[in-house]
Structure 1
Amino acid sequence: MINRPGKYFPRVVAVLAILLAIGGCALPPMTDRTDSYSVPSEQTADTRLGRAIAPLAQAHPGDSGIVLLENAHDAFVARALLAEGAEATLDVQYYIWQYDITGTMLLDALYRAAERGVRVRLLLDDNGITGLDSALAALNTHPNFEVRLFNPFVVRNPKWIGFLTSFPRLNHRMHNKSFTADNQATIIGGRNIADEYFGAGSGALFADLDVLAIGPVVSELSDDFDRYWSSASAYPAALILPEAAEGDMASVVETARECSASSEASRYVCAVAESALLKNLLEGNLGFIWAPVSMVSDDPAKVLGKKPKNGSMSRQLAEAMGSPEHSITLVSPYFIPTKAGVEIFRSLERKGVHVRILTNSLEANDVAMVHAGYAKYRKPLLEAGVQLFELRKVPGEESVERKLQDNLMGSSSSSLHAKTFAVDGKRLFVGSFNFDPRSVHINTELGFVIESPELTQMMEGHFEEQARITAYEVVLDGSDDLQWIERNGDEEVRYSHDPGTGLFKRMLVSIFSFLPIEHLL
């Protein structure tokens, strides 16, 4: 049977009408948004955190104290302890917050802080809060708890419709992550708030890296939080979310209670109780490494396409890290160097600067399209002299897995998510910045530059040790073709294609590599 040409015309018109109507739903005017700012650290000096930190800071004037949070359980404990220890303020900023075990527990920790009188400001990118609308709307009604959504979607369900009507705006996201208590201590780095970042649940673990910081850099971070909180893209939740219904707050509390009572959460709490950070803190042995630390961050106006007054974060980062003389060691989960980046690395190698890079292998990468953006640069990077490693999956030996869980590269079930690099064994960057076009041009990012040979060499040592255990080294063979070398002790296995992957996945990546979308990745 042949359909008449005009049969589906009314349906097409109806769909177009709906899309046009949705497109007409502009963001609401920013009315009745209250001004609020971080409390100066001098005014929180008499809090528990302030009193504990003061003697340490006084002994190291001008420097900030740093603890690397490599272990997933330590990273959760650090956030939970800051939430429980805060007495004045909690300023929290994240790209993704899931309503799973760890997300529920930390949201409940913020709520309990608000209940005891702590002012909580929660700034979340609106693209990463699936299922949280009613909970956030309820929490926003608490007199001590304010929620703002960064670059929000007007249509709440399904959100993806927003990309059809407002893609140029919604493609820009706030990728920053920070957790600050009383303007005395902060945590920044690569981790979002979800089970895969903290080793909870049964899914894969993201191998990530954060830092816990005290000292002068915390006030820098708080000022930056204020800049985002007051930006033109930070909308009060009440303007975006449906109004909280009666009983929604009770539902949030009950969800937290049910979560904490679940067997899965109980097992996680028991595992967290073994945290080395918690043990060292309780024994008074939490050793901060003191060093000059500076914050680098994008202007929130970046998402609006406005040129920043003091340069993009990528430019700030390049200036802060200085000109490498001997070595660069780079860890990035989503690594797309672009042609310009390859030329930079080539130039550095010609000057005698040794460049080592660790990123995800195809079997470990959670975004195949991003891997396609990277894969076409492997051969040019190797030809430029770069030493290239890709995170792999290690066979499940208990002792090896347990050992790797305490290190930067993560466990055998990991996908790499840490973003860090070291220069000349002296300077270290830790933050949210991926070395790809999206971090450079589209998303906002945040990080610390740490002038510490001790921490830098610690990171480089971990890189060297773990690259042998958990990574393939990618090389060129005698025919100028790619090879992946897997080392297991004295045993060496070579592969002629991406290890641990099927033909279909490799073909898909090959197809993706031809799409003109590199600037979006």
Structure 2
Amino acid sequence: MTVIFCRLVFALPKSTARSDTVAKPAPGSGPLAVALSESRSGHEGLTGIAPLEEGANAFAARVSLADAAISSIDAQYYIWHNDLTGYLLLDALQRAADRGVRVRLLLDDNGVSGLDCELAHLDAHPNIEVRLYNPFNLRRLKRLSYGFDFFRLNRRMHNKSFTVDGHATILGGRNVGDEYFGAGTSALFVDLDVLAAGKAVSDVSADFDRYWAAPSAHPAGAILGKIKSENPICEGLARLRKNPRPNAYRELHETPDIVEALAQGDLELEWTTALLVSDDPVKGEGAVPREDLLAVRLMKAVGEIQSRFDGISPYLVPSRAGVRAFKALKKRGVAVRMLTNSLEATDVLPVHAGYAKYRKRMLRAGVKLFELRSQAAPNPPSKMFGHFGSSGSSLHAKTFAVDGKRIFVGSFNFDPRSTTLNAEMGLLINSERMAKGIHEAFDRELAGLAWGVELNNGHPAWVDLKTGKKTGEEPGSNTFKRIALAVIGWLPVEWLL
């Protein structure tokens, strides 16, 4: 009765004047159209791909695309922080709207804490509309909403895309926040995005329209309430500039303009075929038939794996089914290698408990495991780490390479939450160059930036790949963490991880 009462009292407001707009056609003029005109020539029906490895470059790419927009910006994110990069990118969207660009901003409400005032301000702009995916019933003490609306709020939109003028899009693993772009004081996330032009852009735009019109995407105006400040974005930026981090701020503003780089031919696009794989947004409302899940459709699209599978997932909880799949691959002679976070590097301890539960089973199945070290290496050259970053203390990239031919880049983790609960998206790209970059990084044993994990007398042992030294004590462990990992491993919560 209490749950029903709370749902009635704290029901989400209904929008009576909702209008579901669709993506605008790509304009034939403007900086982006001009910059891509020569590169796109002769590549009709193909997708141009450029990896964005370094955080500062990935951030600058978004800002320079926004500043070049003349028609539309469609942005979709799981997390958008109220920090330096978060405010700078909100300001870029606001500037674009002031020029007459239509901006649609779709955000998962789980990852926008502290931004209600800023989002309400943007939503009030005549050229901006903000929508929130599965919004929380309570705006203050949001987490209390789980107490009476758990099953809806447990389903989140994990997608990330940034599409400008229908000409270019950025998608991959990065959310919007200082740690994703190397601008924060906390640990840097090792991550990977790709810039795409051509065929994939129209696919991403159509997919954005599906999510924009989904029942789980609610117009933000009635939820966020009245504007409480004249321009909270400018005020936020002014506040942050009083206590600047000079190096981070300078690096973010001294990176090359990606639109100019495209126009000058300094940024090379690899023109190839790429398939967008995305969950149906109905996943945010409840169960989806197994055959419609991204994970199932992605594996069908990959096809039969012949010789090599190298995967990178910050949150690796394979479940029994995943271990069986790894074992079947090994039985067919496929070499399987996986990189995930070590205990000392992870930012989500419960997920590591789910991984640790299956670690020995994966090793017995023949999977070669690597775990990223918390302090990888002092300023290593980026080529050491292939196409998924240079250094850092916490892994966030979600990618895998198959047979030296194909690579997936997106938001999908190898865990039950990505498979059955969260909405996910990504590109499966036919690229020998990018796939071989991942394979070669594993061949070099990740340049010593990760621990190798192997069985020693039936128990996991961690190998320092730089020195060859071996230890049976898990790096980063202590009494509290060992107890927590054991207890979480016993609990029936794997479906939540």
TM-score of the two chains, using structure 2 as the length reference: 0.95
3-state SS, counterpart of residue 400 of structure 1: coil
Q: Please identify the structure whose Cα radius of gyration is greater.
A: 1
Query: How far off is 1:408 after superposition?
Result: 2.1
Unaligned stretches of 5+ in structure 1? 1-15
Q: What is the CA–CA distance in structure 2 between the aligned matches of 1:329 and 1:405, rounded to whole Å?
A: 14
> For each residue in 1:281-301, what CA deviation from the matched residue of structure 2 results, as whole angstroms up to 9, or x when unmatched?
585310111110110000100
Partner residue in 2 for 1:482: 460
Mean Cα deviation higher: 126-135 or 47-56: 47-56
Q: What is aligned with 2:477? A: 501
Mapping of 1:67-466 within 5 angstroms? 67-245=50-228, 248-260=229-241, 262-264=243-245, 266-275=246-255, 284-307=265-288, 311-394=292-375, 397=378, 399-400=379-380, 408-412=388-392, 414-465=393-444
Contact 1:71 1:407 in 2 (8 A): no
Deviation at 1:273, TM superposition (A): 4.6
- Deviation at 1:481? 1.6
Checking the alignment, whether the CA contact within 8 Å between 1:293 and 1:449 is kept in structure 2 is yes
Shift of 1:37: 0.7
Q: Relative to structure 2, which stretch is displaced further, 300-309 or 290-299?
A: 300-309
Whole-angstrom CA distance in 2 between matches of 1:463 and 1:143? 50
Aligned residue number for residue 496 of structure 2: 520
Determine helix, strand or coil for the equivalent of 1:507.
helix
Deviation at 1:320, TM superposition (A): 1.2
Deviation at 1:501? Answer: 2.3
- Provide the C-alpha distance between the structure 2 equivalents of 1:309 and 1:118, rounded to a whole number of angstroms: 39
1:327-371 Cα shifts (integer Å, max 9, x gaps): 100000000000011011101101001100000111111111000
The answer to whether the Cα contact below 8 Å between 1:71 and 1:405 also exists between their aligned partners in 2 is no
For residue 292 of structure 1, what is the amino acid of its counterpart? Answer: T
Identity, in percent, stands at 46
Q: Name the structure 2 match of 1:6.
A: none
Q: Secondary structure at the match of 2:142?
A: coil
1:511 to partner: Cα distance: 1.6
d(CA) in 2 for partners of 1:356, 1:390: 11
| Alignment partners' CA distance in 2, 1:468 and 1:122 | 39
Q: What are the ranges of 5 or more consecutive residues in structure 2 without an aligned counterpart?
A: none
Amino acid at match of 1:39: K
Query: How many aligned residue pairs are there?
Result: 496
Per-residue deviation at 1:187? 0.4
Contact 1:74 1:276 in 2 (8 A): yes
Q: Secondary structure at the match of 1:110?
A: helix
Output the CA distance in 1 between the equivalents of 2:290 and 2:487: 40
Retained in 1: the 8 A contact 2:441–2:447?
A: no
Question: Structure 1's 469 and 273: CA in aligned 2 closer, same or farther, altered over 3 A?
Answer: farther
SS in 2 for 1:87: coil
The answer for the alignment partner of 1:51 in structure 2 is 34
Map Cα deviations across residues 46-65 of structure 1 (whole Å, 9 max, x no partner).
12211221222222222111
Q: Contact 1:328–1:356 (CA<8 Å) still a contact in 2?
A: yes
- Taking the aligned partners of 1:127 and 1:348, their CA distance within structure 2 comes to 36
- Residues 231, 19 of structure 1: CA spacing in aligned structure 2 closer, same or farther, 3 A cutoff? closer
The C-alpha deviation readout for 1:136-179, integer Å capped at 9, x for no partner, is: 11111100011001111121110011100000110000000000
Aligned residues of 1:404 and 1:411 also touching (Cα < 8 A): no
